[in-house]
A and B are shown apart, each in its own frame.
Chain A
Amino acid sequence: MSLLHSYVKVRARERGRALPRATVRHIHLAEAPMVFVPLRLAGEAAAPLAAMVGTDPLHPTLLVVPQPRNRDLRFQFLADLGAVLLPYIDRISRQVETVEAKTPFDRCLDAPQIVVPSAGGVEFTAKLGRSSRFRRTTGPYAVEPAVPMLGRWLTFLAEQSEFAGSSLMVAMTDLLTAHWVTGQSAPEDGDLAALLGWIDPPDGMTGPEAAALADDPLTPPAGPDTHPEFDRQELQKAIEHYDVTGSTDQVEQALHGQLRPTWDRMWQAIGLLAALKESPGATARWERDRVHVAMHRAWIDGGGLPQGKRDSAVAAAKRLARLEAAQQSFEATRAFDDPLVMAEYRADGVAFAGEVVAVDLTRRIVPPGGKREVPRPLVTIETSDPVRLGRGKKVRSPSRPRQSATITAISEKIITVQIDDGMGRGAQPAEGSVPGVGTVICYTELDPGESRRAPLPPREETPWTHGGPPPEYVPTDDDAMEPWS
């Protein structure tokens, strides 16, 4: 968040309509995204109640658990969900290319993309994954083979979603708030209907009017939690009807009514996002997503075990480091790809933009630790941004992302940077390698380069302070039979 963001919120409030927060789309949109709108039974950790799922906006598949307290019906639901999701995942993840590199690696040609309404949907998906990936397909409490396989993929996708910028499993409200600013608060933006009301209200309505409709009892919540009044007045009766008659009609009808509006909104939102041009960073991150899918595919096909319940100390630390690196690189790339995102950093003083007013191309110095004189030209920029960077700060420019520079002098409105590299091997900087007078340029401390990871000991060298080397997690009979009540 930034002062700019707060200002735009105020302006959106006054205007009665959301305003753009990005000029390009910072996530990849798959050709056929799989929309997944799950609901759970209130008061339960991971009791699925229903879901609307599919890749065709006009023909969603509705899955329900007519009696959510019945364990067998819950697993039947997961098997049915697997019958929709697994063929989709399999078809896409089995098409693999080998990328030539120092160490060649596999990458899927495309990747699955699951879109859920909100962060709560991602969390619930992770719980569904946890509750099904250890299930056995033989012996006592056997489930259909699709169930544990679905559990492993859902776990994988939910884990990937924690990495900033991954597009494999995304929450629609997160995507929309990354691209638009509404005139309501963050918790209200968590409601898909209200959020979309601000961004794309129906004809003749203002944003706040459309958002107010989301508070109407007739507008079902986007899940995974249902409206308590719906539970009391409709669902309870429908379930009783099923208990008595064995007919799922009423339950299906009631849940269809709750899910369909959200389903339609999901596609409306996808349409809005699709209208934005994809940023180069998003395309690059999707390539990485495709590598991760290929790796997981290979792990499963090679007979690898399902994900453990907990990470070992080293795995947890590594994961944290990777999460942080992904976050940093995502934030920087977004700013480099999009002047509107960069404007937020300029407002907060960690980036600045302005016109080059002077250039000293002939300056040569002996860099610290060096022996020979090398060219280190100075570029002076005039800016009206409230810069909070200090002397000696390493900076980069989105227009020359591969060149690093250092701030050497800073005074009100005038900043001088020294260009450190990317000028060729000659005694003078190569033609065009240094910004010329009159150029408008932006510099920032952000660095989109993959940040270096702190080296961590390999698994077998886990220090004793962290419990020593962890045993490989092997699911037990108890995992498979874990009662599900």
Chain B
Amino acid sequence: MNRLDGIRGGTPGQDHNARSIAALAANPACDRRAILDAAAIDKPLLMKRLRFDDRWGQSPFAIQRNQQFTDLVKANGAAHLLRLLRELLDLPIEEAGYVNLEDVGGHEGHLARHGHTRRVIKQTAEGLGRATILDRPLLRLDVAGAQVYLEPDVIAFQLGGMFHIVAIKSFAILDDQADTPKVSAAAREAAVYVHALRDVVGRDLVSHDVILVCPKDFTNAPTATTVDVRHQLVTLARQLSRLTRIDALLDRLPEGFSLDLETLSSGEIEAAVAAIPARYAPQCLSACELSHLCRKEAHLNEQVDALGRIVRDDLGGIESVTTALRVATPGEPVADDQAEIAERLRHVARIYDEAVA
């Protein structure tokens, strides 16, 4: 991976996390995101260098709230969580063990922490040890040839049963309902953890039901529910397998390609980013820090994709705005494979003009 470090240069890296993997997997055809993520480029910093408004940071109020809630759930040997697990999984009273996997005797490197997590999880799976709640685990996943470390909130284990990924989120479950987009995002993220944990102990020992812990109604009181992430797992596995190997992508870049945010000028950064092809769609706006840059580029290139999936599908293969409008104009020459869409577009153009007039 020396080449990747070389691309990043002296600028500190930004590690992958479950959310970024979910975002990458949501758009597997985007080389730009794949390379930037693999090279651990600090995307918010990149956008700042290019003077784009950063809407990606989290509000300090949200961060604080999330931290407070997570602390509450984990306080006193995760007493709240144990109560919720007892209710949800029918845990017998004996199963009350709590292990903080971050306590690795001062060896705080990722490798040591991951090794410790792996060891304890394997022992637990074999019925050795007394851990029911495994706090602060560190998992690892191969993403297009790069090793990525992941930190789920908690892993819960039921003796004679299965491991469950526990996700602690501070959005409320109000009258037994939560915001669908928030639950979906949490499910996509949790699916990444399930996938990584299955690498360690095998498919059958990790439940596809993840446990979502949220505040109940308008209170701080934690409540829990299970979320089936089977669908997200299938999507994730498929998308991960579709990610082009990083080596292949790197081979297409020029010799000595650099994206060192600290030494390059903003003009050079812009040119370097532009050299990696992106695949922009409006969904990127809610998933990727680079989206505003890619959007600008897509519009400059008059890409139909930038108008949304529906428009793209409706226009059946026409890629640019100019082509679409030319094809819709009577008398303009049309390629054979566009004859059908041309006829339909000319019809809608005519009835639109009639109706507006």
B345 located at the interface, meaning its Cβ lies under 8 Å from any Cβ of chain A in the complex: yes
Q: Are A229 and B345 in contact (CB under 8 A)?
A: no
Q: Which residue on B lies nearest to A216, using beta carbons?
A: B53
A340/B311 contact (C-beta < 8 A), A43-B61, A229-B57 known: no
Q: Are A309 and B63 in contact (CB under 8 A)?
A: no
Q: Are A43 and B63 in contact (CB under 8 A)?
A: yes
Q: Are A7 and B64 in contact (CB under 8 A)?
A: no
**Complex contacts, A482 vs chain B, CB 8 Å:** 217-219
**Complex contacts, A20 vs chain B, CB 8 Å:** 356
Q: Are B58 and A228 in contact (CB under 8 A)?
A: yes
A367 located at the interface, meaning its Cβ lies under 8 Å from any Cβ of chain B in the complex: no
B322 located at the interface, meaning its Cβ lies under 8 Å from any Cβ of chain A in the complex: yes
* Of B65, B219, B286, B307, most A-chain CB atoms within 10 Å: B307
Q: Are A236 and B60 in contact (CB under 8 A)?
A: yes
Q: Are A484 and B218 in contact (CB under 8 A)?
A: yes
* Majority DSSP secondary structure for residues of B touching A: helix
CA distance A262 to B176 in the complex (A): 33
CA distance A394 to B61 in the complex (A): 57
Q: Are A346 and B351 in contact (CB under 8 A)?
A: yes
Q: Are B310 and A485 in contact (CB under 8 A)?
A: no
CA distance A231 to B59 in the complex (A): 6
A1 located at the interface, meaning its Cβ lies under 8 Å from any Cβ of chain B in the complex: yes
CA distance A440 to B89 in the complex (A): 68
A329 located at the interface, meaning its Cβ lies under 8 Å from any Cβ of chain B in the complex: no
CA distance A231 to B55 in the complex (A): 11
Q: Are A4 and B352 in contact (CB under 8 A)?
A: yes
Q: Which residue on A lies nearest to B343, using beta carbons?
A: A386
Q: Are A130 and B304 in contact (CB under 8 A)?
A: no
CA distance A365 to B176 in the complex (A): 59
A204 located at the interface, meaning its Cβ lies under 8 Å from any Cβ of chain B in the complex: no
Q: Are A7 and B352 in contact (CB under 8 A)?
A: yes
B1 located at the interface, meaning its Cβ lies under 8 Å from any Cβ of chain A in the complex: no
A485/B218 contact (C-beta < 8 A), A44-B65, A232-B57 known: yes
A46/B218 contact (C-beta < 8 A), A7-B328, A7-B348 known: yes
A174 located at the interface, meaning its Cβ lies under 8 Å from any Cβ of chain B in the complex: no
Q: Which residue on A lies nearest to B61, using beta carbons?
A: A42
Q: Are A232 and B282 in contact (CB under 8 A)?
A: no
Q: Which residue on B lies nearest to A227, using beta carbons?
A: B55
**Complex contacts, A3 vs chain B, CB 8 Å:** 314, 344-345, 348
A215/B292 contact (C-beta < 8 A), A7-B349, A7-B352, A228-B59 known: yes
* Chain B 48-86 per-residue mask, 1 if CB under 8 angstroms from chain A, else 0: 000011111111111111100000000000000000000
Q: Are B351 and A208 in contact (CB under 8 A)?
A: no
A41 located at the interface, meaning its Cβ lies under 8 Å from any Cβ of chain B in the complex: yes
Determine, out of A91-99, A165-173, A179-187, the stretch whose residues face the partner at the interface.
A179-187
Q: Are A130 and B282 in contact (CB under 8 A)?
A: no
Q: Which residue on A lies nearest to B179, using beta carbons?
A: A123
**Complex contacts, A43 vs chain B, CB 8 Å:** 59, 61-66, 170
A339 located at the interface, meaning its Cβ lies under 8 Å from any Cβ of chain B in the complex: yes
Q: Are A232 and B59 in contact (CB under 8 A)?
A: yes
Determine, out of A8-16, A273-281, A452-460, A463-471, the stretch whose residues face the partner at the interface.
A8-16
B215 located at the interface, meaning its Cβ lies under 8 Å from any Cβ of chain A in the complex: yes
Which 5 A-B pairs rank lowest in CB-CB distance, beginning with the nearest? Answer: A43-B62, A42-B59, A45-B172, A185-B282, A43-B65
**Chain B residues in the interface with A (C-beta under 8 A):** 52-66, 170-172, 174-176, 215, 217-221, 282-283, 285-286, 292, 299, 302, 304, 306-308, 310-311, 314-315, 321-322, 324-325, 328, 344-345, 347-349, 351-352, 354-356
26 A–B pairs (Cβ distance < 8 Å), ordered by A: A3-B348, A4-B351, A6-B311, A7-B314, A7-B324, A7-B348, A8-B352, A10-B311, A14-B321, A41-B61, A42-B65, A68-B61, A215-B52, A228-B57, A229-B57, A232-B57, A236-B61, A310-B176, A339-B354, A339-B355, A340-B355, A343-B348, A346-B351, A385-B347, A385-B351, A386-B344
